[in-house]
Structure 1
Amino acid sequence: MAYQNKDITSKVLAEAFKGKTFRVYGLDLPQIRAVLPTNIPAVTVKELRLDNLFELADGTAAIVDYESDYKKADKVKYLNYLTGIANRYLAEKRDCPQLHMIVIYTGDITRKQVSAEYNVGAVKVTLEPAFLSELDSDRIFRQLKSKVEKNELLEDEDLMKFIIMPLSYRKKEEKEEKIRETVTLATHIQDRRQQLFTLAG
């Protein structure tokens, strides 16, 4: 389980997460119905690639981006994601669904540092942010440890907690220590599929 600021969770929210929800992030959204391609055709030579794009059960779509810092310039990037997805649907001669722009911030960022809106008059983008800094990480770790020690089968939400929990800490030293503890705990998961999933994160 290597620590790479924002990428650590994006790579695991893929095929294995069809039917799952964003509840672990504190977001009340429909479950994931399908994982969609993340490449966006761009007018410029450089192709845009977002972290994740999901079709949700209610027919809407969720763009998910992971950030370890907050920059106002990122909001222009999100606007480009949204228009890029809308253009892709247009090119495919399909109606663009309602889009959610979800930004998941690691423990380095708190809610008070972030503005969830980008308003340039004719266009207003409203983000749906999630803050890993708001997780009770120590309690989550105790719960996971208890389940593993009792050889209980972990639920899907538990598996996500295994992966995101180290990212909820603010200090680098805390993150690294919790990664080591989490990896050690994951090696004791009895279900081989679940063990591999958590260690691959």
Structure 2
Amino acid sequence: MKAIGLDLPPIRDMLPTVIPVAEVKEERIDFLFRLEDGSLLHLEFQTTAATRADMERFAGYDLKLLERYREIIRTVVIYSGRVKEAPVGFDGGSLVYRVTNVYLKSWDGEKEYEYLRERIDRGEELSRAEIVRLIFLPLMKHDGAEGEVAIKAAELAKRIRDEKQNLVFAAIIALSDRYMTEAQKKRLLEVVTMTQIEQWIREEGRKEGRIEGKIEGERQKALNAARVALKKGIMPEDVAEITGLSLDEVLAIRKEMGN
């Protein structure tokens, strides 16, 4: 089957220099890639046309990225096949913000799926551009729902025998909140069972559990210290400063103690 032509200039031109590691959900950003020239590619995914509030949110992300990295930032908004047009930014006076919109409405997802499936069936290695097309597959034009297509894309990715598999899984999982039901998310996790990405998810879950447990333990110590200090007659303002609790929390504790 002949490859489908994809009109994706802003990303297509960058693909040869993209480092295949994505920072996912930083400050709720969908994807952040560092390019080999040092610039940042900020991707946002939308299943509906962005509103002014969305644009201001994207701009806020980029300002934080600029403050942190001091690098050129290019923001591209990828729209699913349902969206035909969307705003490209806003004029806030001193702040004028612009993004590049990419529409998937003209991409035939069914043909693209068959093309990628045949490539994988033949045991051929997918190029970086084809990996991006596999990631975007659920957002292309399809007869079925995006969530079902995401599961099919993950099933294809499971047959990839190199490090690109992890990138596809990570991207689909990261974007699952956009278009997948809870039942579909559960099926997606079943697809990634026994893969490296599942091990990462479980490890991150264990780490978060340990961190949350440590934080909760430290907070409990602070609450106990506040109770002891209040019993000794120390002023609430001083207790708040000593324990790190807010004054409102200390006053609430004193009220519970009947003081």
TM bracket, shorter-chain basis: 0.5 to 0.7
Q: Which runs of 5+ in 1 are unaligned?
A: 1-22, 41-47, 90-95
Q: 1:198 to 1:126 in 2, by over 3 A?
A: closer
CA distance in 2: counterparts of 1:141 and 1:186, whole angstroms: 12
Partners of 2:48 and 2:79 within 8 A in 1: yes
Contact kept, 8 Å, 2:47 with 2:79, in 1: the verdict is yes
Pairing 1:158–2:130 present: yes
C-alpha separation in 2, matches of 1:124 and 1:181: 40
Kindly indicate whether residue 61 of structure 2 is the aligned counterpart of residue 75 of structure 1. no
Distance 1:199 1:119, change over 3 A: closer
CA offset digits 1:46-103 (Å, max 9, x no partner): xx432222222223222222222222210110121122122324xxxxxx22221121
Aligned to 1:97: 71
Greater helix share, structure number:
2
Relative distance call for 1:38 and 1:185 in structure 2 (3 A) is closer
Mapped partners of 2:23, 2:167: distance in 1: 22
TM-score with structure 1 setting the length:
0.63
Provide the secondary structure at the position in 2 that maps to 1:85. Answer: helix
Quote how far apart the aligned CAs of 1:153 are: 2.6
> CA distance change for structure 1 residues 106 and 59 in 2, over 3 Å: closer, same or farther?
same
1:63 equivalent in alignment to 2:42: yes
Matched-pair identity in %: 19
Residues 140-169 of structure 1 show CA distances to partners (whole Å, capped at 9, x for unaligned) of: 122112213323232233233223212213
Aligned-partner SS, 2:105: helix
Q: Give the distance between the partners of 2:166 and 2:24, measured in 1 at CA.
A: 25
- CA distance in 1 between counterparts of 2:40 and 2:123 reads 36
Residue number in structure 1 paired with 2:18: 32
Query: Does the aligned pair in 2 maintain the 1:34–1:56 contact within 8 Å?
Result: no
Number of residue pairs aligned between Structure 1 and Structure 2: 162
Aligned AA (1:101): T
Q: How many Å separate the matches in 1 of 2:131 and 2:22?
A: 22
Equivalent position SS for 1:73 = helix
Distance 2:135 2:22 in 1: 22
Instruction: Write the distance in 2 (CA, Å) between the matches of 1:50 and 1:176.
Output: 20
| 2:93 counterpart SS class | coil
